[in-house]
Amino acid sequence: MTFLQIYLYANISILFFWMFYRIFLRNVKHFQAGRFYILSALPGSLAIPFLQNGISGFIKSHETIVNSSLYNFIYLTTTNGYSGEQILNPIFSIDFLSVVKTFILIGAIASSAWIILSHIRINQLIKKSRLLNSE
């Protein structure tokens, strides 16, 4: 399993954990339970891609089917090694992996900029605020 697959599976599981929290646990008054859920969701979402019977098991079984001898017999072994298909070199091709990496990089830059701007706004609020005496 590649790093990109692990990254995508972890992000998808974080999304599902977040949706479950927003739907069911947002308005619950047991704050310790909600805190525990949030703190355990992140390590749990990182562990999900490494489970053997999860999504990675499905991908491995699909690869096994594609590389089976029946597939090789039908598509790769023909008379004189010619399958009847002419393979053309495409003029323009898009590398899917590069596109996904670009979107991940754009998302990381955008979220980092959002966090930095939020910290700047909070610091400006703190500097503009007045201290009230509690007497």
pTM: 0.45
Q: How far apart are CA 60 and CA 56, in angstroms?
A: 6
81: left (phi over 0), alpha (psi -120 to 50) or beta: left
Residues 69 and 63: beta-carbon distance below 8 Å: no
Of the pLDDT bands very low, low, confident and very high (cuts 50, 70, 90), residue 116 is very high
Q: How far apart are CA 39 and CA 21, in angstroms?
A: 12
Q: Which residue, among 61, 46, 65, has the nearest Cα to 3 in the 3D structure?
A: 46
Q: How far apart are CA 43 and CA 41, in angstroms?
A: 6
Q: What are the residue ranges spanned by the domains of the chain? A: 1-80, 94-135
pLDDT of residue 65: 47
For tokens 């859920």, the residue is 37
Q: 93: which DSSP letter?
A: -
Mean pLDDT (whole number) for 8-36: 87
Stated as kind and residue range, the H or E segment containing 70 is helix 69-75
Residues 53 and 80: beta-carbon distance below 8 Å: no
pLDDT, tens digit, 9 for 90 and up, residues 24-38:
888 888 888 888 888
